[in-house]
Structure 1
Amino acid sequence: MGKSVTITPATNDDAEQVLKLQYLCYQAEAALYGDYRIPPLTETLDELRAEFDRGAAVVARLGDEVVGAVRGAVGENGTAVIGRLIVHPRLQGHGLGARLLLAMEVRLAEGGAPVKRFQLFTGHRSEANLRLYRRLGYEPVGTEKVSARLSLVTLEKASQNPAPPAVSSATTAR
């Protein structure tokens, strides 16, 4: 039997692998919108590490390889903003993105600051992302035109204080 994917909190030691995976994963988004200067492709390692320090991040591992990640932080108003959900292209379409997103919701809800709602955004042409988010209970609450090629769709769902096991211990799927 092959290796299992585990989801654990990210550490600064994961930052370089996350950044490389992010660069790989966002190529398709950049092509979709005709813009290779999008923030996920221009973010530096220092910026990523600073974001890890300010908020929460979880990674999916297949052995020692980081094959997925997501980040988030809770604002003063109780809105937990989740972003940069990535899954290695060879593993997409198998539920790993949903597992990562749900793990991040749990991590943020258990992080101490009260969470009233979860919020994320994606480009208006990113149909797979929109389908995933809707399937997990997110509803569109606004659209912002960023450029002639891109509008960002903001989606939210109310916090229900999810009760799955804490992300601090590895969860495994086969």
Structure 2
Amino acid sequence: MGMSVTISAADAQDAEHILKLQYLCYQREAEIYQDWSIEPLTQSLDALRAELDEGQGFVARLGDEIVASVRGRLDEDGTVRIAKLIVHPRLQRHGLGGRLLDAIESHFAEEPAPAAKRFQLFTGHRSEGNLRLYRSKGYAQVSTREVGPRLTLVTLEKAA
């Protein structure tokens, strides 16, 4: 490609680009579960902006293009809830998801008090690539929750 991918904190100007990428990336999940009403496909721009304001987001850029993103938020109990890790389909399986997980974990591990005690995320039970990535990064399954006839959410966690 000739360009390297850079990872940086997301800002307000990135929100629209993140939302468009999110819509593209979650098409595969919707197809797997035959459900196009999943929250990442129906989230509004205002809701995404609120998530960025309440927590921290990171983006990966190839030149000026946002090609991957992740968001996270630290709860009062010390749990960092990581959400919506997305990588453009043409760049999947090149390590960007892992780099973004490392970036968000580092951000919250280094943040002054209150310190993160654990990292937690979830994915669908049929999302094998997601489960493989999370397990390779040290996450272990802590619970499952059936949310419909086609979808069981798998929650994974690791110590900070």
Whether these two folds match at TM > 0.5 is: yes
Residues 72-130 of structure 1 show CA distances to partners (whole Å, capped at 9, x for unaligned) of: 01100000110100000000001010000110101122233311100000000000000
The question of 1:91 aligning with 2:91 is answered: yes
The corresponding residue for 1:105 is 105
The corresponding residue for 1:133 is 134
Residues 29-84 of structure 1 show CA distances to partners (whole Å, capped at 9, x for unaligned) of: 00000000000000011110011000000000001100000000110000011010
Distance in 1 (CA, whole Å) between partners of 2:111 and 2:20 is 27
TM score, norm. by length of structure 1: 0.90
TM score, norm. by length of structure 2: 0.98
Q: CA RMSD in A?
A: 0.8
- For residues 21-36 of structure 1, the aligned pairs below 5 Å read 21-36=21-36
Identity across aligned pairs (percent)?
64
Distance in 2 (CA, whole Å) between partners of 1:145 and 1:61 is 35
- The unaligned stretches of length 5 or more in structure 2 are none
Letter in 2 for 1:51: E
Letter in 2 for 1:122: T
The corresponding residue for 2:124 is 123
Moved segments of 4+, more than 6 Å:
none
Distance in 1 (CA, whole Å) between partners of 2:49 and 2:131 is 28
Secondary structure (helix, strand or coil) at the match of 2:129 reads: helix
The corresponding residue for 1:164 is none
Distance in 2 (CA, whole Å) between partners of 1:118 and 1:54 is 17
- The unaligned stretches of length 5 or more in structure 1 are 160-174
- The number of residues matched between the two structures is 159
